[in-house]
Structure 1
Amino acid sequence: METRPDDVSDVTEVRGDAVAEAAVVPAPAVPAERYAPRPPTSLSPSRAGDFMQCPLLYRFRVIDRLPERPSEAATRGTLVHAVLERLFDAPAAERTAPRATALVPGQWERLRESRPEVGELFADDPDGERLATWLGEAERLVERWFTLEDPTRLEPAERELFVETELASGLRLRGIIDRVDVAPTGEVRIVDYKTGKAPRPQYSEGALFQMKFYALVVWRLKKVVPRRLQLVYLGSGDVLTYDPVPADLERVERKLHALWDAIRSATETGDWRPRPTKLCGWCDHQAHCPEFGGTPPPYPLPLGVPASEVAEQGRMSADQGARVAAEVPSEAP
């Protein structure tokens, strides 16, 4: 999730490739109005992933809006994304590895200015040794990118592109795409950078779920199926590609409708059940989770959403909805 909201109303986004590295730390004090409870109004790849992983996690993030303190791994991902985005501001011939790594300190300062809370990550590092190591790790990830792609031969049509569409059913989908390349022939490639390692082959479908989500949005918006989906794993130096077809995206659309039905049903009933997995060890909300002896906050929304606002056909309870995740394998750290 790198900390970068792909649902612009979600201020505590944590990208999935950082989950395995993220440390569980106490949440910082945050003004309550910043996290005012609200019912879900749209679906992003990260929020869909949250619900498939654990309906209660979805509730904590979307409805309760419990604060989450940024981790070193997530923040490093945000930094690397910013560097790779800014590099394309330079002329093609000047997009070199030394220029890219030279951007790291400046982008770190920009990140600290825009999100002061990330500076707390190194509050116990008065000599700056841990920060220097952390920045060096970010530089190595940036350098590795040059072994996977040649930016001197790329002219992205879009970078950090916010996309949003409303399906015929009324479901709104939104997200932020790292990079969109458009060939002279009009073919579209969607590219996403991951600072973690590539999944094992049996888990590649789960890794591609986010990309198929984006492809569906682009298809519905532009009436063009992207020619290629490309995941660039900087942690391991791998590139995962997939060429979607309309049938793939139609399956994703059906899956998202099923998830949304389950989310709306849980919103109506207040039935948000935990789904224990190995990922629970990295969750910030153990103090509120029944699986760890905690108690969720009082449910902040009125129960009993009008029936006209809830899909009646194929409606699922929250724990049934979580089992939709079986269609998209997820790899435990």
Structure 2
Amino acid sequence: MKLPRPLSHSSISLYQECPQKYKFKYIDKIPEKPRHFFSFGQSVHLALEYFYGVKVPEPPSLADVLKNYKEIWVSGGYKDKFQEEEYFEEGRRILTEFHAKHTKDYHVPFFVEYAFNFEVDGVPVTGRIDRVDKLPDGKLSVLDYKTGKKLATGRLEIDAQLTMYQLACERMLGAEVGELVFYHLPTLKQHRAARRPPALVEELTARIVTTAQSITQEKFDPKPAESVCRWCDYKPICPIFKDQSAGMTSAPARATGEPELAALVDKYGAALAAVEAAKRDAEKAGMELSSVLKKKGYVRAFGAAYEVGLVPAVKWEFTDKKKVLEIIKSAGAYEKVLAPSAPLVNKLLEDKGTDANLRARLTELGERVETPELKIKPL
């Protein structure tokens, strides 16, 4: 078969993670669910493209940047309006601080959102670079924006995406790359690495070619891994997991004759979502209320329907809980803090490695009851 599309850093990474997942996405064209962190990253990237997308060295005003940010905001994947609002405000903060910092050294980049297409030994490769600047010595500075809360700076020197960007720039733009940069936007910190050595570039080109060969040879065996499969949208149709539900009966969908059951499923899911949203609203309101009460020095306050009191409380937190228990036990006070935890006892009884005598003694004290749990998620 032919490649379904040119290879990119993300598609190569996806194939290496799980060939079956690559097939589902790029060959079977089964879309994944939107993710809020992708939507947030896209929104901030688009706003920075607007900031640097001018033709004259005069930056847009902060008001214009924030107005554009609101207009291009990508809202897919957020679990509720509360989370979306939280991320929207974080984006505003990032853009406001970015604008304040970089209007001082504003310049028109060499390229903004530079799209590249070229071939590696006959294999088509594509991608898009957030920004390319020209350094004083004529070499290129390649910048990749990062919007995640944490940045794995340890991979900066070997990151394959930056290596691909260097390869693309030097082939397409005819200039040597002087530095590769991860720009962590939440902290406005730039993490720089020197130009990649030939060995890393050769390693990448070999990976591009071997990945293309495997795809054209239709090698799509799944690579199960708990950390990957746990969050995979394709798990229900994956050959690794489809046997888990073999022999189990599923109710027909709403359209095939069970509208009452479908309505109950939706009602239950909507109620749970409302409870979670209410909890978050209550936590937010509680934090605001506590802050105001403390600021005013009040311990009680009244509304039209409710009264609230600010009760002093102390909470100790420990990092080494094992050491804490050892100290308490050595002081003869272990029984005062030890209580049977139902989840831990259940786990102990269901563990095949548990001592038979211990299991028997615990079994005499309790009764094993089947308690299936409902697990629901939005469609």
TM-score grouping bracket, smaller chain normalisation: 0.5 to 0.7
Matched, 1:233 2:193: no
Maintained 8 Å contact 1:229/1:242 = yes
Structure 2 equivalent of residue 322 of structure 1 = none
RMSD: 3.1
CA positional deviation for 1:291: 4.3
What one-letter code is carried by the residue in structure 2 that aligns with 1:143? T
2-side partners of 1:176 and 1:292: how far apart?
Answer: 35
Structure 2 equivalent of residue 57 of structure 1 = 21
What one-letter code is carried by the residue in structure 2 that aligns with 1:57? K
CA positional deviation for 1:188: 1.1
Maintained 8 Å contact 2:59/2:103 = no
SS state at 1:68 partner: coil
Structure 2 equivalent of residue 258 of structure 1 = 207
Matched, 1:211 2:162: yes
Structure 1 equivalent of residue 124 of structure 2 = 172
TM-score, with length taken from structure 1: 0.63
Q: Which residue among 285, 296, 301 is the counterpart of 2:234?
A: 285
Structure 1 gap segments, 5+ residues each: 1-36, 112-117, 296-333
2-side partners of 1:260 and 1:94: how far apart?
Answer: 42
Matched, 1:191 2:143: yes
CA positional deviation for 1:41: 4.4
Maintained 8 Å contact 1:39/1:62 = no
Matched, 1:156 2:109: yes
What one-letter code is carried by the residue in structure 2 that aligns with 1:80? V
CA positional deviation for 1:44: 0.8
2-side partners of 1:107 and 1:185: how far apart?
Answer: 36
Structure 1 equivalent of residue 175 of structure 2 = 224
Question: With CA pairs under 8 Å and 6+ residues apart, which has the higher RCO, 1 or 2?
Answer: 1
Question: Which has the greater radius of gyration?
Answer: 2
Structure 2 equivalent of residue 46 of structure 1 = 10
The 1:132–1:197 alpha-carbon spacing in structure 2 relative to 1, beyond 3 Å, is: closer
SS state at 1:176 partner: strand
Matched, 1:74 2:38: yes
The number of residue pairs the alignment matches comes to: 243
SS state at 1:173 partner: strand
Choose 75-84 or 224-233, whichever is displaced more: 224-233
Matched, 1:272 2:221: yes
Structure 2 gap segments, 5+ residues each: 245-379
The 1:94–1:203 alpha-carbon spacing in structure 2 relative to 1, beyond 3 Å, is: closer
The 1:238–1:216 alpha-carbon spacing in structure 2 relative to 1, beyond 3 Å, is: same
Q: Which residue among 140, 148, 151 is the counterpart of 2:93?
A: 140
What one-letter code is carried by the residue in structure 1 that aligns with 2:71? G
2-side partners of 1:147 and 1:278: how far apart?
Answer: 39
1-side partners of 2:218 and 2:140: how far apart?
Answer: 42
Correspondence 1:88-103 to 2 at 5 A: 88-89=52-53, 92-95=57-60, 97-103=62-68
1-side partners of 2:95 and 2:192: how far apart?
Answer: 20
CA positional deviation for 1:129: 4.8
TM-score, with length taken from structure 2: 0.56
Correspondence 1:101-112 to 2 at 5 A: 101-108=66-73
2-side partners of 1:42 and 1:77: how far apart?
Answer: 23
The 1:60–1:189 alpha-carbon spacing in structure 2 relative to 1, beyond 3 Å, is: same
2-side partners of 1:102 and 1:152: how far apart?
Answer: 22
The 1:145–1:177 alpha-carbon spacing in structure 2 relative to 1, beyond 3 Å, is: same
Q: Deviations over 1:86-115 (max 9, x none)?
A: 11245645445454333221222xx5xxxx
Q: Deviations over 1:128-177 (max 9, x none)?
A: 5554333212212323434775574221121111111123x212221111
% identical aligned pairs: 25
Matched, 1:243 2:194: yes
Q: Deviations over 1:43-83 (max 9, x none)?
A: 11111111222222222222222111222211111111110
Structure 1 equivalent of residue 49 of structure 2 = 85
CA positional deviation for 1:85: 0.5
1-side partners of 2:12 and 2:178: how far apart?
Answer: 24
CA positional deviation for 1:42: 2.4
